[in-house]
Amino acid sequence: MRIFVAGASGQVALSLKEAVQGSEITLVTAGRPDFDLTKPKSVRKAITAFEPTAIVNAAAYTAVDAAETDEAAANAVNGDGAGVLAQIADELGVPFIHISTDYVFSGNKNGAYAEKDSVAPTGAYGRSKLAGELAVLIKNPNSIILRTAWVYSPFGKNFCRTMLSLAKDRDALGVVSDQTGNPTYAPDIADAILHILEGIEDNGWHDHYAGTYHLAGTGESDWFSFASEIFRVGGTLGHPVPTLNKLTTEEYPTPAKRPANSCLDCRKIESAFGITMPPWHRSTAACVKRILAEVDKSEEPLG
């Protein structure tokens, strides 16, 4: 299997790269400045030169707040860029997996969102990701779209790393407690993607695989509870544990509105591909332990 991953420095791309180490899978990640989704000709050249048997789009404009004042840039990558990749995969006749987000929903539903629920993004980032979903399905109806949420990992900038970093200098932290979702570990996403692609390679493509799926950590949380678990695990390893104070969304305003409810119903992907994501508590513990072990080893800041 030869997998081309759009996106080189993101959490899912890095997790995929790590997951295939020692396997017979050849995987390459590509990102800016050499690989720019706003330049279709160079994108096509890079992909066709690699001769992939599958393409994964893990690239995205993810600056949620910045997108409010730069929606055109978000759309160029998340919308048009996603469509370009889907079309190339269609032309090459290879499976295409596109990563999307809970931000396509309003967040006003009581209960977890299913794939069939109406989309209604409230901000520029969500609109750009929805535009990407629509572009993907238009350019390549045989695509697989995976919506995920609250992604964290040992890599880059994310909630888990930020909490651990802040605790080194602060005795108390305020964390929003009225937004609910599914914390999702990027290495778990990578494992699920590889499971899907390996199944397609072994069993061939079936038209019923195409469509939109939800893929998120098992179990619901709010940001305050997520932070509490991060520090519970960190505390057992000697990491500072600050006092946590609950905040409301109103008390922690941001340029882009966050969904009050980001919970995703993942039963469809379990039925179609036999994928059940690990409980978020378990993956959080694994992430915290790894981050702290690597920091201790390198003595580098968490960022």
**What is the per-residue pLDDT across 170-223, written as a single tens digit (0 to 9) for each?**
999 999 999 999 999 999 999 999 999 999 999 999 999 999 999 999 999 999
Q: What is the mean pLDDT of residues 161-169?
A: 96
What does the alpha-carbon distance between residue 26 and residue 52 come to, in Å, rounded to a whole number? Answer: 9
Residue % of the chain over a pLDDT of 90? 94
In the prediction, which pLDDT does 284 show?
98
pLDDT tens digit string along 227-265? 999 999 999 999 999 999 999 999 999 999 999 999 999
Short-list 68, 116, 95, 289, CA closest to 195: 95
Q: Which residues are the active-site residues? A: 125
**8-42 as b/e, with b when 16 or more CB fall inside 10 Å?**
bebbbbbbbbebbeeeebebebbbeeebbbeebee
Q: What is the pLDDT of residue 33?
A: 83
pLDDT band (50, 70, 90) for residue 32: confident
pLDDT for 240 equals 96
169 vs 205: CA distance, rounded Å? 52
pLDDT per residue as tens digits for the range 42-71: 899 999 999 999 999 999 999 999 999 999
The per-residue pLDDT for 303 is: 54
Q: What φ, ψ does residue 295 adopt, rounded to 5°?
A: -65, -45
| pLDDT (average), residues 73-79 | 96
**Cβ count near 106 (within 10 Å):** 18
The predicted structure's pLDDT at residue 298:
56
Segment (H or E) for 77: none
177 Cβ neighbours under 8 A, 6+ residues apart: 222, 223, 224, 225, 246, 247, 248
Can you tell me the distance from the alpha carbon of 14 to that of 156, in angstroms, rounded to the nearest whole number?
Answer: 9
Confidence of residue 34 (pLDDT cuts 50, 70, 90): confident
Whole-angstrom distance, CA of residue 32 vs CA of residue 35: 5
Residue ranges of domains in the chain, CATH in brackets: 2-298 (3.40.50.720)
pTM of the model: 0.95
Q: What are phi and psi of 63, to 5 degrees?
A: -75, 85
- Written as six digits, the tokens of 36 are 């720019």
Asked if residues 55 and 95 have their Cβ atoms less than 8 Å apart, the reply is: yes
Helix axes 82-92, 124-139, angle to 10 degrees: 20
pLDDT for 97 beyond 70: yes
pLDDT of res. 295: 73
| Angstrom distance (rounded) from CA 208 to CA 269 | 12
Q: How confident is the model at residue 80 (pLDDT cuts 50, 70, 90)?
A: very high
Q: pLDDT band at residue 296, thresholds of 50, 70 and 90? A: low
